Each structure stands twice: as C-alpha cells, then as structure tokens.
Structure 1
Amino acid sequence: AVGIPPKQFQNMQRTLFAKQLIQQTHLSMTDIAITAGYQSLRQLQRAIEQYCATSPTQLRKKEPVQQKAISLFLSYRPPYNWPYVRDFLATRAIEGMERVTDESYERYFSCNESIGFFKATHDEARHGFKLLIDMPDLGRLHTIIENIKQVLDLHADPILIEQSLLQSGLPPSKLTPGLRLPSAWSVFESGCRAIVGQQVSVKAAIGQVTLLVHQLGETVSDALPSNGLESKTSERYSFPSPESVAENSLEFLRMPQARKEAVRHFARLFINGNMPSHEDILAIKGVGPWTLDYLKMRGERNPDVYLGGDLIVRKMAQQYPVAPEKAAPWRSYLTLQLWQLSNQ
C-alpha cells in the first residue's frame, strides 16, 4: 500500500523510532541503538544518514522536548494464544494498577524513583503487540521493554514447546495451541503474590494483594502518565517497594499472622535492590517448595518448573498420565497445560 518492500518499510519505521528517541529523550546514543534494535552504534548512524539525510548528532542539536508516550511494535512467533494470556492476567489483575480488556493489557510500574505506564494491544494479523509506553525517566527503557516481552512471553517458540508437551504423553487433542507463560512484573511481586495466595483461591489471594497495593503502593500522580488506565477506584498505583512492605505491620491483611510475617520477612530480603538466593527464600518460616517453584516459574520466568506438588497439577497428571521429565526444558508449560485442562 505504501509502495516500498516490507523489509525497507520495517527499516524505515525502526529509524523513525530511533529518531524519536534522539529528539525526545536524554538517552545515550548507545542506549537508543540497542532500544531500536540495532546491533551497533555504527548501524544506527548509517540508518539515520540513509533515511533522515543527517547524523544522530545533528538531530540532537536541539534540547530534547517534553517526553511524550513512545509507540512501538513487539512481535512474536505464532501461534500465540492471546485469549489464554488475557484471561490469566485478567483473573490476577490488581484494580487501580492493572487493566485487561478484550485486546489489551496495561499497568503502572515502578522504575527507579519514578512510575511508568504501558499498554500492550494485541494485533493478531501482524503477530504482535502495539506497545504504548510512558515513563519520565527513559534511562531504563530497553530493560522495561524487555520486561514487557517477558510478561507476555513473546520470546517463546510455540512449536518447540508443543513438541515437548507431546513427548510428555499428553494427547494432541488436549493441547492448547500457542500456550504462553504470562510472567509477573518482578521476582519480588511474584513472591508476594505467591505467599499471600497460599492455601486460598486465586480470587481470595487477589483480594489480599489488592489491599497490599492500595495500602502501601505508590500513588500515581495525575500528571503522569498521560495515557493512564481508567479505574473504578479514584487512585492509581504501582506495586509497593520491598521497604514499604518490610516496615509495615500488615494489620490490614485478612490472613494468619504467620503468613503476614512471612510476607514481611520475604520483603526484607529484597531491600536495597538485593536479590536473595533460593535458600534464603526457603529459609523463611511458612515458605515451602510450592511457593518457591511458583516464584521461579512466574517471577524468574524459568520455563522448566513442574509444579508436581500443586493439587490441580497432581489431579490432572493422574487423569492424563504424563512423564514430566520428557517435557524438559519446558516443564513450566506442562504445568500451565494441566491447569488449563482442569478448566475444560
């Protein structure tokens, strides 16, 4: 429709995105090259010269303007089961922090000392997501974009995963095509969700996590971001910091005192950006192998975690005899598939 080959059009779009970053942000040229998908600074320079008839330095002569939301496109290998991902995220969405619609997922997130926002809208025809991202500090833009790709599991190879699930003994008719592993935003967030969710339903767990976010999460100012989600609540939030959780008595949570202490102890392990070992996490009273495995699967995005101790997984594995070891290194997807079969 635009009269140029697809590859050339793609290159032009990438260059225009890089140009936008150069003119609208304080990012270093190296960060811009990486964020826009170039292998090197030299590649970025050549592209700018080809499509903009100038150099990156010339483009940056003026002071960067007020940052606006950035749009880009994130691709995946089809098939991609968006209804599964959407419903998984919707069931666990925190009111005021996340919102899931028929075609999109959006949320607020903490980034250094500021709060950002993104909205990912599924585009099945183009095999990807249109991403709108708004954050005042773009120094970590590349990291945040990679995190969003992980949350939506855009790097997965569905054909390879499907072959592994078949090898484990699942009948082809029972496979969910394009199954993905929707991740939590961070290891800390996934651990909080897992501990709060022990021995209760997903709905009850989300009720408690929502209380945690509304009581201790940072409130988003009206000024930022400009494309924020609509919420039934009057406030909008980012997930609480480890410091705020560790220092609070958590009296507002409706759960046994021992579990509140486990959440506080867990939060203490993450203070000052620390990343605790699995041994440190297991040493917390009230945190067992299931909680750690859930954290590894959704927080650390480990594709090879079989939740053999999970009640639903155990029940479905009896109904559909499987050999989990034969699904390696994709046993997390076997866990998800067995969960999915329990809903049918």
Structure 2
Amino acid sequence: MTDNKSALYAAFKAKDARFDGRFFVGISSTGIYCRPVCRAKQPKSENCTFYTTAAEAEQAGYRPCLLCRPELAPGTSITDATATLARRAARLLEENCGSGQSLDELAGRLGCTARHLRRVFADEYHVSPVQYLQTCRLLLAKNLLTDTDLPVLEVAMAAGFNSLRRFNDLFKKQYNLSPTALRKRTTEGKKHNGNITLALGYRPPYHWEEMLNFLAGRAITGIEAVKNGEYMRTVHLENTEGKHVYGWVRVGHRPKKNVLAVTVSETLLPVLPQVLARIRHLFDLSCDPNAVYETLRVMNDIRPGLCVLGTRVPGCFNAFEMVVRAVLGQQITVKAASTLAARIVDTYGTPMQTGIEGLTHIFPLPKDIVALDGAIENHFGVLGVTAARSNTIYELARALVQGEINFDLCAQPEEEMKKLMAIRGIGSWTAQYIAMRAMEWPDAFLETDAGVKKALQPYTAKELLKMAEAWRPWRSYATVNLWNTL
C-alpha cells in the first residue's frame, strides 16, 4: 500500500478519514509522524515517507505527533489483509501488551511457531512482533499520560512496563521527551476529575444510535445498562498472575472527534489493554465502512435504503455471556431471552459493588456452570429455561473449560462453527450468530432468521442464501443492515 506515494500524499493532503489508521506519515523536516487526518500545516511531498504502522514509523526514528495523536488511530480489521495470521497476531499483541506473555505463548495461541510468526509479521508490517509490541506499550502510555492524571508509575505498569526506569529510558529515547515533560505539555490547563477516560478512534461514519439500540434491546439486567446515550457494563478479567480483577466500564460517543470515550474504573488498570481490545471488538471500531459499502451497496438495487454506509456489526465483550444469551434466544423473543439471562445472573452470578445503578453482578464463568451439582436442568429449569437449552449451555461451558472451542481471535471461524453445531441444540442459525458476534467473522449469514426473511419478503431462505453470495465477504454487515430496516 505504501508504494504509491502520490496517491497517499493526495489522501494525506485531503485529510481523508477513510485512510485513518491505514498508514502513517513520517515528516523528515520535523522528525514526527502523523495520521492522514492531521490538521497541522501540510508538509511538502518530498519531506514525507509513508509507513504501514506506527511501529514502522517509530523504528525509522520518528516521534508521534502531539496534535493528531497516532495512538487514537483506528485499527484494521482482521479480514482487511490476505495475511490474516499477521493481523490476528497484531490484535493479540495489542490486547496483551500489558500481560508480559512471550512470543512463543502468543504464537501457540495462533497455532504456529514463533519463527513462522516472526517471518509473516515482518512481511506484513516491516517490523518484528517485539518492535510492534514496544510501540503498542508506548502509545498506550502516551494516551494515559495525555488523558488521565494517573501517576507515571501506574501508567508504566498499566502499559506493560515492569520497570519505571526502563519505561522512562525507552520513552525518552523514542520520543525525545520524558513522560513527565509530555504530561506538562499536553495537560496544562486541563482539569481532571479522577476518572480514567481514554479515546478510541474509528473511521466515520458511525451509527451510534443503531448500535446502542441493538445493545439496549439485548442488555442483561445487572450486567449491562444503556442510559443517556452511553453503554455501561460490569467487567471481570484475569491479570497476568491469574488474579481476578473486577470493575466497570462506560462508553460514550464524541462524533466531532470520531472517537468513543471509554471510562474505566481504576480497579481495571492491571487489565487495561484487554478492556480496550474488548471495547474495540464490541463496537467494531476496526471496521472500514467504505470497503464494506463498496461491496454491499448492490443491496440497494433490491430496495433503496437496505444498506447504509457506516453500519457496524455489534461484537461482544464477554463471549460466554453472549453465547448463553444466543442459546436462550432460540425461538423466543429478544425480551424473553433477556429475562431468562437476567434470572441466571441473579441466581448464579457474582454480586459486586460498582456505585452505578443497574450494574450489580458479574456473569457466571463457564467453570461455574460446569461445577454445579446434579443435572443442569434441575438448576435452570426453575428459572424457566427448557431442559434442552439447559443442556446446550452446559455442553458449551464444558467445551470452553476443556479448550475444545475457541472464540478468541480463532484462525478458522468456519471450523469452530462446525464444532459448535456438533453440540446438541446448536444449529446453523446459532453457530452463524455466535461467529458473527463472538469470533469477528464478517461473512456470517442468517438466511433462516425471521428478521432477515421479513426484511426481504417474499424471498425464500434458499433464494436469500443464493442472493447473499454477491455480498461476500461482508454478509454479517448485510445481516445487520437488514435488521436495521425493520
């Protein structure tokens, strides 16, 4: 992509948001690198060098621009590149930059060797995984230094640096500025309210209200709430030592800046990279809406308005929670499924104090379900869950505990869907829905879904499936577009 300098310079000059996060511009006259949307004075073409990633720009000796803030650039979708292994590795590095996991451990999660991962990563990004990880940590630290009043030591720890001295030395070496000096320059005159609020960028347009409506309709009482144009939920994750970490997160929209404002409880600092990665997944922030629309706009030939530019696929924050919700929702209304999920949470969830009205519990873990004494239908039956669905939920929990199924950036979603459908009670609709929301699979299609069939009356399911061939590889986005028309 970075070979066509004239085209990239034209995009940079136009401040084209479609290219935000897809490349970065190193400016030799200033020694800084910028996002394509930077509003600083336009440099001359001969002073610009274009890079695929922020890590590549930093390895070339450039420092991040304090005006456009490269750490706010949206990421790239797993499906954007043919080198999907490298893309998945990059996402894992971003999510685990604070975990201290070795490259061998990350490669194992992706089903390859560290040597193979280094090779494909360098081919795709022109830097090593270690160099990419270093930039992830530095940019997260820069974000925290700029937008919060956390002590520098806590910033260093949250970003994955185990040594304050190493953090200070590396930050100064890479950015020619100490962490404390950056804070003085970027926070002068700002008032902090004690909350930890960071910004996550996206490529516009973004239909926030449609996303909130979808999540609100499926919110589980005690776990999630949508109020005053914001999404809130409880959080339970494990840190690098396996310690359980509890807290809450609140997400709002700042359309003028093309970012989501993510406020997290201070208790979540040890797992902050994981939290941010899950928010990106939940709100589909890595999507390139123009690339999706380029394929799906043919839907409007069927009926005007079927496909809308900027539509996102709602992901999930907690895969098991979403999967249980999907099983409960089979052949009943969305509201009824939410009621059953709330009963499970109230009975088997973990109570917690958040200080936020409506956020009172943590969803039970798969191991909590497996550990219940006696037949599972005896536990869930009194809550109104049928024996068949109770057993399906139990088998899903067991498969997750034993590592038989993987929802975490799985390399082959179609293989995981086959494993899902081998579980009694999970058919094509449920497997496709789970893949779409939990596995970031962009090409799921629910031809038997009542909403899809209603949106495209009078076509049959067989006709819909044939029609949707023209919508690959974005059939998940086509599905959400059809739901939004109802």
Q: Tell me, in whole angstroms, the C-alpha distance in 2 between the residues paired with 1:44 and 1:161.
A: 40
- The alpha-carbon deviation at position 10 of structure 1 amounts to 4.3
SS at match of 1:250: helix
C-alpha spacing 1:271/1:145, structure 2 compared with 1 (3 Å): same
C-alpha spacing 1:268/1:97, structure 2 compared with 1 (3 Å): same
Q: Tell me, in whole angstroms, the C-alpha distance in 1 between the residues paired with 2:172 and 2:70.
A: 12
SS at match of 2:267: coil
Partner of 1:330: 474
- The alpha-carbon deviation at position 23 of structure 1 amounts to 2.4
Q: Deviations over 1:155-197 (max 9, x none)?
A: 1111222222123444443333421111122332221111111
- The alpha-carbon deviation at position 213 of structure 1 amounts to 1.4
Q: Tell me, in whole angstroms, the C-alpha distance in 1 between the residues paired with 2:145 and 2:404.
A: 33
Identity of aligned residues (%): 27
SS at match of 2:312: coil
- The alpha-carbon deviation at position 99 of structure 1 amounts to 1.2
- The alpha-carbon deviation at position 270 of structure 1 amounts to 1.4
Q: Tell me, in whole angstroms, the C-alpha distance in 2 between the residues paired with 1:53 and 1:324.
A: 55
- Structure having the higher Rg: 2
C-alpha spacing 1:244/1:308, structure 2 compared with 1 (3 Å): same
Q: Deviations over 1:80-105 (max 9, x none)?
A: 00110010011111122111124211
C-alpha spacing 1:28/1:85, structure 2 compared with 1 (3 Å): closer
- The alpha-carbon deviation at position 54 of structure 1 amounts to 8.9
C-alpha spacing 1:297/1:12, structure 2 compared with 1 (3 Å): closer
Partner of 2:99: none
TM-score (normalizing by structure 1): 0.80
Q: Tell me, in whole angstroms, the C-alpha distance in 2 between the residues paired with 1:8 and 1:158.
A: 27
Question: Which of 312, 328, 332 in structure 2 is aligned with 1:200?
Answer: 332
Partner of 1:116: 247
Q: Deviations over 1:241-291 (max 9, x none)?
A: 001222333233213211111111111111266635433322221111111
Q: Deviations over 1:205-241 (max 9, x none)?
A: 0100111111111111x3xx5xx4212xxx7012110
Partner of 2:418: 279
Which letter does structure 2 place at the counterpart of 1:84? Answer: E
C-alpha spacing 1:148/1:31, structure 2 compared with 1 (3 Å): farther
**Which sits farther off after the overlay, 171-180 or 104-113?**
171-180
C-alpha spacing 1:84/1:184, structure 2 compared with 1 (3 Å): same
Question: Which of 329, 341, 346 in structure 2 is aligned with 1:214?
Answer: 346
Contact 2:306–2:482 (8 Å) recurs in 1: no
C-alpha spacing 1:142/1:198, structure 2 compared with 1 (3 Å): same
- Residue 267 (str. 1) matches residue 400 (str. 2): no
Which letter does structure 1 place at the counterpart of 2:66? Answer: Q
Contact 1:21–1:27 (8 Å) recurs in 2: no
Partner of 1:251: 381
Partner of 1:65: none
Q: Tell me, in whole angstroms, the C-alpha distance in 1 between the residues paired with 2:307 and 2:419.
A: 36
Partner of 1:238: 362
C-alpha spacing 1:12/1:90, structure 2 compared with 1 (3 Å): closer
C-alpha spacing 1:263/1:326, structure 2 compared with 1 (3 Å): same
Correspondence list, 1:18-97, <5 A: 18=145, 20=150, 22-24=152-154, 27=157, 30=160, 42=170, 45-47=173-175, 49=177, 52-53=180-181, 69-97=195-223
Q: Tell me, in whole angstroms, the C-alpha distance in 2 between the residues paired with 1:295 and 1:12.
A: 33
Contact 1:118–1:133 (8 Å) recurs in 2: yes
Q: How many corresponding residue pairs?
A: 313
Q: Which structure's relative contact order is higher, taking Cα pairs within 8 Å and 6+ residues apart?
A: 1
- Residue 8 (str. 1) matches residue 66 (str. 2): yes
Which letter does structure 2 place at the counterpart of 1:111? Answer: L
Gaps of 5+ in 1: 33-37, 56-67
Q: Tell me, in whole angstroms, the C-alpha distance in 2 between the residues paired with 1:171 and 1:44.
A: 57
Gaps of 5+ in 2: 1-38, 42-64, 72-138, 184-193, 239-243, 373-378, 407-415
TM-score (normalizing by structure 2): 0.58
Q: Tell me, in whole angstroms, the C-alpha distance in 1 between the residues paired with 2:214 and 2:476.
A: 15
Contact 1:246–1:268 (8 Å) recurs in 2: yes
